[in-house]
A and B are shown apart, each in its own frame.
Chain A
């Protein structure tokens, strides 16, 4: 072979090889020089989390939550989608006792269906709650559910649906991920610990009293505080709205007198009824996968 051609090939190979050796050497040196210790606990915690990065625990993602856990700054019970099984795995890794872990579930603090809300104005705008909330006078109650389903869209588990104009939680599917809480522009959804399958919740968010509430809603809380007076301290009034103390409320507490006393049906039992309650699931729930039905667009085109 022509020696010039041979040397050209050799020169190319030599250049590449030399660059590879130099680059490899620099990176190898950097790997040792800039070595950062990664806590194996963080890795184990991160693996135990569902990795859906929902942010329900209050941290940016599962990775951040794992780091906070390892630093001892967070409780191992904050993961909604992971549930009790996940909390147990986390506490096993951390070597702490979590005690009783209650599942948290979303509760809509409004009980007024479409025909029970008064002073409604026909609304033809953008069919989202976020947009409708900017419009004054769409319905009499400025605190109640708008029924346009922002929470339904936000829910990754298909667990909340607008039924008869009111957002209704499907407690068989809810994981307490707080996506609906963030989506609701009127902040009427919150998560509460479910110590039994069915618990009592205040189903009104209107902080006004008597006539002001009655003029806008057939079932709104009028702030009479009758329920609080006979509840034995389990219910306290916050302004004109009762608030149930869920730290002390459990299976043994009997609030039936308060519920019977309420004239406005503002206190409702939420959750699955005991007989149809499913076996507690040990597995981590997976986010809903799209099927044919959920890809069909039912919203009206208003272009």
Chain B
């Protein structure tokens, strides 16, 4: 399978088939919190996509060089100190470093956008601090980390970018769909005990069940692409 097919499958898988929110149930807090209006949902989705791209890129670089078994920087330090044998595995530090990287990059991006793009900051800057501890972004970083543990071919930067873009756009799709449904819900005669979060959770569950219909589509696409390549 060539790289392009790989990238497409990673992107499509993260966006639709294993949708972060509706399949893996991460990032549910912004999914419920900011999905009352379509325009703010879109802003939140775009902000998540952007931060996810920045955070996975940073954590890909750190994982590649530091936080995996046999990482080059660690091995170099090990040799420098004059020790024999295999260098220690620093992946125990990955969670704390990912959180640190995500929080730091969100802060940086917030300041940067506020200074240089005030209009953009007005439209989605208010969502940025909310993303600081968003589990969807940590989830993307951890997926990238899993693919960098070896053995076998390790993910390149393009793979992790495809994952974060797919995951972010999948999140945007889910939250905008949800916001559209909730806007319609405003006009429905919902029984009082279920009003607000109750009916929103029910709708989210049904939406997640609908997305279960995509399960296995990735294998079908992969087969179709490889068989088309074979007959050509």
Contacts and interface: CB of A to CB of B under 8 A. Distances in A.
B114 A16 contact: no
A7 B81 contact: yes
B88 interface: yes
A23 B104 contact: yes
A130 interface: yes
B114 A34 contact: yes
Contacts of B77: 11
A303 B189 contact: yes
A39 B63 CA distance: 42
B67 to A, nearest CB: 9
B208 interface: no
B196 to A, nearest CB: 12
Contacts of B83: 3-4, 7
14 contacts: A3-B83, A4-B83, A7-B81, A7-B83, A8-B88, A11-B90, A15-B66, A15-B90, A33-B115, A34-B112, A34-B115, A126-B187, A297-B191, A301-B189
Interface in A205-225: none
A134 to B, nearest CB: 11
A203 B108 CA distance: 57
Contacts of A27: 104, 107-108, 111
A193 to B, nearest CB: 32
Contacts of B112: 30, 34
A241 B102 CA distance: 62
A239 to B, nearest CB: 32
Contact of B191 (A7, A20, A303): A303
Contacts of B4: none
Nearest to B107: A27
Contacts of B92: 12
B83 to A, nearest CB: 6
Contacts of A20: 100
A19 B97 contact: yes
A30 B187 contact: no
Given A27-B108, A34-B116, A126 B88 contact: no
Contacts of A35: 115
Contact of B111 (A34, A130, A131, A299): A34
B114 A36 contact: yes
Nearest to A297: B192
A289 interface: no
A19 B74 CA distance: 14
Given A27-B104, A34-B111, A35-B115, 9 more contacts: A8-B88, A11-B88, A15-B97, A16-B96, A19-B62, A19-B100, A23-B101, A27-B111, A128-B187
Interface residues of A, number: 30
Interface in B60-84: 62, 66, 74, 77-78, 81, 83
A35 B90 CA distance: 36
Contacts of B189: 126-127, 299, 301-303
Interface of chain A, main secondary structure: helix
Q: Which 6 A-B pairs have the closest CB atoms?
A: A34-B115, A297-B192, A8-B88, A34-B111, A23-B104, A30-B111
Given A7-B83, A15-B66, A23-B104, A131 B187 contact: yes
A71 interface: no
Contacts of B116: 34
Given A20-B100, A26-B104, A27-B104, A36 B90 contact: no
A6 to B, nearest CB: 11
Interface string A288-303: 0000000101010111
A15 B111 contact: no
A149 to B, nearest CB: 13
Contacts of B111: 27, 30-31, 34
A26 B100 CA distance: 13
Contacts of A11: 74, 77-78, 88, 90
B157 to A, nearest CB: 19
B4 to A, nearest CB: 34
A26 B115 CA distance: 16
A35 B151 CA distance: 46
A31 B187 CA distance: 46
Contacts of B74: 11
A64 to B, nearest CB: 10
B93 interface: yes
Contacts of A23: 100-101, 104
Interface in B81-128: 81, 83, 85, 88, 90, 92-93, 96-97, 100-101, 104, 107-108, 111-112, 114-116
B22 to A, nearest CB: 27
B104 to A, nearest CB: 5
Interface in B159-194: 187, 189, 191-192
Nearest to B112: A34
Interface in A30-45: 30-31, 33-36
A303 B104 CA distance: 50
Nearest to B66: A15
